[in-house]
Amino acid sequence: MLTTEYVLIQAVGIIGTVLFFFSFQCRKNRNLFRVQFLSYLFYTVHLLLLGAVTGGISYLINLFRSFCLGSRWEFARRKEMCAVICLMQVAALFFTWSGWISLLPVLANIASTIGGYTHNARKIRIAGMMINSPLWIIYDIIVGSWAGILDEAVSEASMIISVVRYGWKNLDQDEE
């Protein structure tokens, strides 16, 4: 049964979906991560309201990751910070473990973190299209996040549009 509360929880997630779609339309990686920061804020609230604790905490870590990757602070953009963020995801898995389902958002976010820290637009999109989105779709189906399912479908479309728009070859440049 659709309650007003459930519809509002999904609406919070839809706002995150819209923001995430627009993030891949940013040519510069720094801007992509800044828009994703806002998207992750909405998704954190959305998942926590659904009771999907591992996903919600993973998105909190993604907030931090996007802040780091979108910042001008040199250390935040280095590989050492990538390792710290991946370890934070593993700690979140440990503290929020609720069975194998907990692996899905953590593995998805580790892949996206590693992709992001390559500072290469093509690798960021490969991690998103091949690992992050498929794992999140499965998780979203299980926890009942219709906004999350829509987000991943829209994200896949947005990444494909960006590849067509900028060219696959043009996206294969490292950007610091």
Residue 172 lies in a domain: no
Number of folded domains that form the chain: 1
Residue 79 lies in a domain: yes
> What is the pLDDT averaged over residues 112-138?
93
Residue 34 lies in a domain: yes
pLDDT exceeds 60 at position 176: no
Residue 175 lies in a domain: no
Exposure string (b/e) for 122-141, b if CB count within 10 Å is 16 or more? bbbbbbbbebbbebbbbbbe
Residue 171 lies in a domain: no
Residue 58 lies in a domain: yes
Compute the residue count for the chain.
176
Domain span including residue 42: 4-166
Residue 174 lies in a domain: no
Query: CB neighbours of 171 closer than 8 A, spacing ≥ 6?
Result: 120, 121, 122, 125, 162, 163
* Bridge partners of residue 120, in order along the sequence: 174
pLDDT exceeds 60 at position 43: yes
Query: What's the pLDDT score for residue 26?
Result: 84
Residue 12 lies in a domain: yes
Range picked from 15-24, 60-69, 101-110, 124-133 for highest mean pLDDT: 101-110
* Bridge partners of residue 174, in order along the sequence: 120
> Among the listed ranges 2-6, 96-100, 126-130, 160-164, which one has the minimum average pLDDT value?
160-164
